[in-house]
Amino acid sequence: MVSILKRGLAIIILLVIGYWLAQGLSGVPFGQDKMLVGQYYLNHVKQQTGAVNAVTAVVVNYRGFDTLGEVTVLFIASTGVGALLWGKNRKRTARTEGSVVLTTGTRLLVPFVILFGAYIFIHGHLTPGGGFPGGATIATAFLLLYMAFTMYEIPYKAFEKTEGIVGMGYVVVGLIGLAIGGYFLFDWIWQTWGWGHNNIGRLFSGGFIPVIYTIIGIKVGTELSGIIDNMLKEEVKE
């Protein structure tokens, strides 16, 4: 009885919220050109950043500081997961090994999954993708290993060190920009050194976007693998 009442109340609230949202959105025309800043980015992205993919240029170059904050949020989340699930004697407790299909497939596929992740984040300025999807793909490879083998563990000390070093690398790239160009995350490779001005659309262009996306890719990959590791281990009581 109570649950039916609760459910009915919830549905009424949802209908009110839905009507309100639809009312608000009916004033926003769909499919019309509403760009102001976006048009500026699209017009100048090739000369100013050297990237072909405007989305990654916005994420890494025009709003690079925002992305540094985003990476920090991800770092805090992974540290938070580690702190919440902290325990003294944590081990893997899975009992059954994966099936033959899973283990064989994992052995064959893991190098290629990691290679594909690296491809995604290195070509972030040319194709859809970038550091975050690439890093997630790399973490998928480690998740596959965890699912297939009961005893597998990532070398988490090395992973944590890698994560810290590449995180500092991002700040160092920004600080070099501060020293050369006068503001944090200034694109020194593209604007001061002028590398790759005559092969826009090929791999060696885009200023520091491939560099930063490689950093982000490694960082996200190690962080997400660390989260997987923390979640799959359980405290063993003896």
Partner 1 sequence: MISVYYFGSIALVLIGLYGVLVKKNVLKMLIGLSIMETGVNLLLISIGYIYGRSAPILSEGIGPNQAVDPIPQALVLTAIVIGVATTAMALSVAIILYQRYGTLNVEEIRRLRG
Chain residues binding partner 1 by CB under 8 A are: 6-7, 10-11, 13-14, 17-18, 21-22, 25-26, 28, 30-35, 37-39, 41-43, 45-46, 52-55, 57-59, 63, 66-67, 70, 73-74, 76-78, 80-81, 84-85, 126-128, 130, 132, 136, 201, 220, 224, 227, 230-231
Output the smallest distance, CB 198 to partner 1, in A.
Answer: 16
Q: Give me the least distance between CB of 32 and partner 1, in Å please.
A: 7
Which DSSP string do the residues of 60-85 spell out, in sequence order?
Answer: IIITHHHHHHHHHHHHHHHHHHHHHT
Between 26 and 198, CB nearer to partner 1:
26
Q: Which is nearer to partner 1, 188 or 233 (CB)?
A: 233
* Among candidate residues 209, 226, 176, the one with its CA nearest the CA of residue 75: 226
Q: Between 98 and 130, whose beta carbon lies closer to partner 1? A: 130
- Give the count of beta carbons closer than 10 Å to the beta carbon of residue 157: 8
For partner 1, the closer CB: 39 or 89: 39
Quick one: 45 or 212, whose CB is closer to partner 1? 45
The CA-based dihedral angle spanning residues 85, 89, 94, 100, taken in that order and rounded to the nearest 10 degrees: 110
Give the nearest distance from C-beta 180 to partner 1 in angstroms: 25
Q: Is 5 exposed, middle or buried (0-12, 13-18, 19+ CB in 10 A)?
A: exposed
The 3-state DSSP class for residue 91 equals strand
